[in-house]
Chains A and B, each alone.
Chain A
Amino acid sequence: MNVFRTVVTIILAGILTDNYVLSKFLGICPFLGVSKKLDTAMGMSAAVIFVMVLSTAVTYPIQRFVLEALGLEYLQTAVFILIIAALVQLIEIALRKYMPALHASLGVYLPLITTNCAVLGCAILVTENYGSAAYSFGTGYLYALSCAFGSGVGFLVAMAIFAGVRRRIESSDIPDTLQGLPITLISASLVAMSFLGFAGI
C-alpha cells in the first residue's frame, strides 16, 4: 500500500510539480519546435513517453548491475546516450515490422528523440534518485519506471496546453519585433508561471 502511494506521488510530481519542460527545462527544442499543431504535439509526446519508459527500463538495470558493479560510473553519459540511440533505432525497426499502424503515427518522431535531452535527462535523473543502494532493485525499478512515465505524461500535458496557446497566438496581432520565437517564449513563460502554482502541493 505504501509503495502504491509513493508511485502515485511520483507520477503526480512528474506531471505537475517537477514538470520536465516547464520547471526543469528539459526537452525545450521539441516543446518549441513541434507544438504548433495539437496532433503533431500529441504524436511527439506519445513517442517521448514510449521511449522514456523503455530507455529507463533498460538503463536502470545496466546502471545497477553493470556500471556500478564494475565501478564504471564515469561512463554513464556515454553508455546511456548510446543505449538510447540504439534503442530508438530498434524501436523504429520493430514498430515498422510488427505494428505498422503505430509506426505510421509515431514513426516520424522517433529519430528526433535521440537528441531530445528529456530522454537522457530522465534516464540520468532516475538513476540518481532511485538507483542508490537504499532501494532494493524491485522497488527502485518500480519507482524509476513510474517516474519515467510520470515525466513523459508531464511532457504531454505541457505540449498539449502549449499547442492550444500557440493556436491563439497565431491569430493575434503581435508587434513586429516579437513575432515568431520571442512571443512563443514569452507565452511559454506565462504557462510555466501557472505551473509554478503547483509547487505548493
Chain B
Amino acid sequence: MAKKTISMGRNASHHSEQSPVSEAHRGVERISSDSSPEESVDMPYEEQGMTENPACYIEAEPSADEQGEATNQAVSQAAGPALKLFQSEMKRGLLTENPVLRLVLGTCPTLAVTTAASNAVGMGIAATLVLICSNTVISLMRHIIPDKARIPAYITVIASFVSVVQMLVKAYAPALDESLGIYLPLIVVNCIILGRAEMYASKHAPLASALDGLAMGVGFTAALLCMGIVRELLGAGSLFGHEILSEGGFLQPILFFSLAPGGFFVFGLLIAAANRLSRENHLPVRTGCGDCPAAATCSMSDKGGCR
C-alpha cells in the first residue's frame, strides 16, 4: 500500500528533488509498519485528502519554506512569481501549518460534521468561502479598524459573511443545510477564521490574505475530508453515500465511529499521526499563545499558554 502511494506521489511531483512530501511518505511507510492497525487504516485516507489538491505535490522550495517565516518573506517580496507563492502558500495551509492537524483550531466542526464525507466537504467549502471573503475584507480595512476594537470588528465582518453563506446554502443546498444544522451558523466562532484575521489578514495585503484564506480553507477541508472518510467508511460502511462495506460482509460497519466518542478517537489518532510525521520532518511544533486569537485578552498567556 505504501509503495503504491509513493509512486503516486512521484508521478504527480513535477520536481524530483527530495521534497518534504516524499519524506512524509516515508514517514507513512514507517508508521504503518510499526503501529496499531487503526493508524495504518487512517493514513492512506489522509493522503487521499492531500492528493485532493495536486498543488501540494508541486514542490517549489523544498527546504527553505519549512518555516513559516520564510513564507512570510516570500509574501513580502510580492515581486516573486505568483505561481511559486501560490504553491508555497498551499503547502503551508495543507501540510506545515494545517489549521486542524497542526494548529488544532476549529475542533468543534471537525468533530461534529465528519460523520459523513460529503458533510465534511460541504462544511469545508462553506468555511473556505467565509475565510477568503473575511480575510480579504479585513485586510482591506486593516488601516481603518482601531486596534482596541479590532476583535468586535472582525466578528462583525465574519458574521455578515457567515449569514451570506448560510443563505446561499439554504437556497442551493437545502439537504446540506439540514445535515450541517447548527454548525453552519457556528462558523462565526470558528477559531480558524478569527485566528487568520488576527494573525495574517490584519498585517498583509488583500491579495496575499485572500490566498492565505484559500490555503487555510483547503487545509481545513482536507483535514475534515480525512476524518469524514475514515468515520463514514468505518462507521456507516459507505463513502459519499455509496455503500462499500455491507452488513454480514467481510468487514462490518462499526457504529462506534459514527457516534460522538468515535469522533474524538479518530481525531486523536489523526493528530498523533500528524505529530509523528512532523517530528520526522523536524518541523516546529506549536508552542505558547502566539497564534491564539484570544491571546491578547487571555489570562493564561502570561503563564505560557493553556495547553
Contacts and interface: CB of A to CB of B under 8 A. Distances in A.
User: Are these two chains actual partners, yes or no?
Assistant: yes
A196 B259 contact: yes
A77 B307 contact: no
Interface centre among B167, B191, B260, B267, by most chain A C-beta atoms within 10 angstroms, is B260
A74 B163 contact: yes
Given A112-B297, A196-B260, A81 B167 contact: no
Given A186-B268, A189-B268, A81 B108 contact: no
Interface size class of A (residues with CB under 8 A): 35 or more
Contacts of B191: 29, 115
Interface in A60-110: 74-78, 81-82, 85, 108-109
B117 interface: no
A189 B306 CA distance: 21
Contact of A196 (B163, B186, B261, B267): B261
A83 to B, nearest CB: 11
Contacts of A81: 155, 159, 188-189
Interface in B256-293: 256, 259-265, 267-269, 271-273, 275-276, 293
A185 interface: yes
Contact of A189 (B152, B194, B261, B298): B261
A112 B298 contact: yes
A192 B264 contact: yes
A183 interface: yes
Nearest to A199: B259
A189 B275 contact: no
Q: Interface size bucket, B side?
A: 35 or more
B166 interface: yes
A17 B131 CA distance: 34
Given A77-B166, A78-B159, A28 B111 contact: yes
A138 interface: no
Interface string A12-45: 0000000000111111110011101000000000
Contact of A25 (B111, B159, B273): B111
A120 B185 contact: yes
Contacts of A145: none
B288 to A, nearest CB: 13
A29 B108 contact: yes
Given A77-B185, A120-B189, A85 B155 contact: yes
A112 B189 CA distance: 11
Contacts of A177: 35, 272-273, 275-276
B156 A82 contact: yes
Contacts, number: 135
B182 interface: yes
A108 B301 CA distance: 11
A182 B268 contact: yes
Interface string A51-64: 00000000000000
A186 B185 contact: no
Contacts of B151: 85, 114
A97 B66 CA distance: 49
A25 B185 contact: no
A116 B188 CA distance: 10
Contacts of B300: 34
A117 interface: yes
Contacts of A192: 260-261, 264
Contacts of B276: 177
A74 B108 CA distance: 23
A33 B160 CA distance: 28
Nearest to B277: A177
A30 B79 CA distance: 42
Interface in A173-201: 177-178, 180-186, 188-190, 192-193, 195-196
A76 B185 contact: yes
Nearest to B152: A85
A46 interface: no
A74 B168 CA distance: 11
Q: What are the nearest 5 A-B pairs in CB distance?
A: A185-B268, A189-B264, A108-B299, A182-B272, A111-B297
Given A28-B107, A29-B108, A186-B268, 11 more contacts: A24-B260, A25-B263, A28-B108, A82-B159, A117-B190, A177-B35, A181-B271, A189-B262, A193-B261, A195-B260, A196-B259
10 contacts: A25-B107, A32-B307, A78-B162, A82-B156, A115-B189, A115-B293, A117-B186, A124-B182, A128-B182, A182-B268
Interface of B: 35, 104, 107-108, 111-112, 151-152, 155-156, 159-160, 162-163, 166-167, 182, 185-186, 188-191, 194, 256, 259-265, 267-269, 271-273, 275-276, 293-294, 297-300, 306-307
